[in-house]
Amino acid sequence: MVGAGPAGVAAALALAHVGAKVVLAGPPPPKVQTLRPETRTAALLTSSVDFLKHLGVWERVAPHAAPLKAVRIIDASQNMLRSPDITFEARELGLDTFGYNVANTVLSDVLYAHAQKTVSRLATGTVDAIATGDACARISLENGSQVEARLVAGADGRQSLCREAAEIGTDHWRYGQLALASSFRHKIAHDGISTELHRQGGSVTSVPTPDPLTSSVIWVGGTAEIEALMALNETEFATKLQDRIDDTLGAVSDVGPRASFPVAGLTAKPLAARRTALIGDAGHSLPPIGAQGLNLGLRDAAALADCVSDALRQGRDVGGPLVLNSYIRARQLDVLSRSFGVDLLNRSLLTGFLPVQAARGALLAGLNAIAPLKRFVMRAGLAPPASLPRLMRPPENLSA
């Protein structure tokens, strides 16, 4: 397993859970403590929460997680054809929540601590080179040590060395946007509601944290706009954020550290080859819309565990073509449909073309008016088109 981010460590835990001997290679989460800790968060959908329960880590994550009870979408653009506001509520599907929002640092620390107890070996150095062969792959670490493996699970990000070594190509595209991640305090309690304010050129999304008067925020905009926001001091940024979200959460104060990153898309072609299966951003990268990114990577991890589990039970090579092709089939529809949907939504916010604005408004109006259609869309957002991997099914349904 190459890559010690949340998707990579979760994949290592899942593979160990089904009986594979796993070496987790990559630097562990940083232990640097600051007065203003990292404030980026991850919204975990219900299937991802069930996955963490099966892996035995959810109990340690839960005290630091905020339930996501509803998603409110507001058209804050100045378009001639504004879309109607709409709120998706978990209770409409008979659920208490759509999932939970948790700090990236908490999730990473809990997963890695569990890996230290359950994974066969932790190789904490940086991976320098990977060579794939007919019988095995050889992974070389910066300290000079090497690891031989029948399967390389690559969760090493957009600039994936695993992907390069396996000679897997990509489709990639950019939007001319950056995303800014931060947090802030507000006067009105969030009540477990995530609010997306869409405007031409981007969006601002607030996501609940365990403190009812604090939310994380993702601000997507043009490169020049986000660079200017990053250059502001805390007071100036708070003023800009207040102007952008208006009075949806009341007065804004105490903004947290800011980080920015490019908004881009990437899909690997194919998702596996040459004893290598790609996971998370190594195989697909999406704009930060609709909480799809990490959840998609966790579904990769759980699906790969299914494929390896079946191979171990049948005595087959866990890195052979049959397993890799099985993994590709298990993941391709989910990845392609999510990539297409998120790309289409993001591009609809970038265009001033009136027919596109009209179509988007008509869709949201239809969802508001037709309850069964609205519930169908909510279910589609929570789960992949095909069946969930076994480790992502509710615990009581694991044998189903």
How would residue 82 be classed by pLDDT, with cut points 50, 70 and 90?
Answer: low
Q: Which residue, of 247, 262, 277, is where some domain finishes? A: 262
Q: Is 85 inside any structural domain?
A: no
Within this chain, do residues 125 and 247 fall inside the same structural domain, yes or no? no
Residue 27 DSSP one-character state = P
Domain total for the chain? 2
Q: Return the structure tokens found at 175.
A: 């939007």
Same domain (yes/no): 215, 310: no
pLDDT of residue 40: 80
Domain check: are 183 and 232 in the same one?
Answer: yes
254 and 148 together in one domain: no
Residue 125's nearest CA partner among 149, 147, 109, 141 is 141
Strand 152-154 with 169-186, pairing:
unpaired
Q: Looking at residue 189, which CATH number applies to its domain? A: 3.30.9.10
Mean pLDDT over 382-396 rounds to 84
Q: What is the pLDDT of residue 175?
A: 82
* pLDDT tens per residue, range 238-254: 999 999 998 899 999 99
The widest CA-to-CA distance across the chain, in whole angstroms, is: 63
pLDDT per residue over 57-66, tens digit each? 999 999 999 9
Query: Of 262, 280, 305, which residue constitutes the final position of a domain?
Result: 262
Could you read off the pLDDT of 148-167 as tens digits, one per residue?
999 999 999 999 999 999 99
Q: What is the pLDDT of residues 294-345, one digit of tens each?
A: 999 999 999 999 999 999 999 999 999 999 999 999 999 999 888 887 777 6
CATH number of the domain enclosing 137: 3.50.50.60
Residues 6+ positions from 380 with CB-CB distance below 8 Å: none
Same domain, 248 and 379: no
In a domain, residue 331? The reply is yes
On whether the CB atoms of residues 343 and 288 are closer than 8 A, the answer is: no
Structure tokens at 116: 């230290």
Question: What band does 379 get if pLDDT is binned at 50, 70 and 90?
Answer: confident
Domain final residue, candidates 219, 234, 262: 262
| Distance in angstroms (rounded) separating the CA atoms of residues 186 and 252 | 5
Considering only CA atoms, which of 217, 298, 107 is closest in space to residue 283? 298
**357: pLDDT strictly greater than 60:** no
CB 188 within 8 A of CB 206: no
Rounded to an integer, what distance in angstroms lies between the CA atom of residue 381 and that of residue 376? 9
| Domain identity same for 126 and 44 | yes
Q: Does residue 119 sit in the same domain as residue 206?
A: no
158-196 pLDDT tens trace: 999 999 999 999 998 888 899 999 999 999 999 999 998
Q: Has residue 75 been placed in a domain?
A: no
**Do 207 and 237 fall into the same domain?**
yes
pLDDT at position 316? 96
Which residues make Cβ contacts (< 8 Å) with residue 315, sequence separation at least 6?
Answer: none
In the chain, the percentage of residues whose pLDDT exceeds 90 is: 70
Contact 282, 160 (CB under 8 A): yes
Q: Verify that 258 and 368 share a domain, yes or no.
A: no
Q: 190: domain range?
A: 174-262
Do 181 and 230 share a domain, yes or no? yes
Give the neighbor-by-neighbor strand order of the sheet with 276-278. 152-154, 276-278, 272-273
Whether 345 and 285 map to the same domain: the answer is yes
| Residue 46 domain-assigned (yes or no) | yes
Q: How far is CA 90 from the centre of its chain?
A: 20
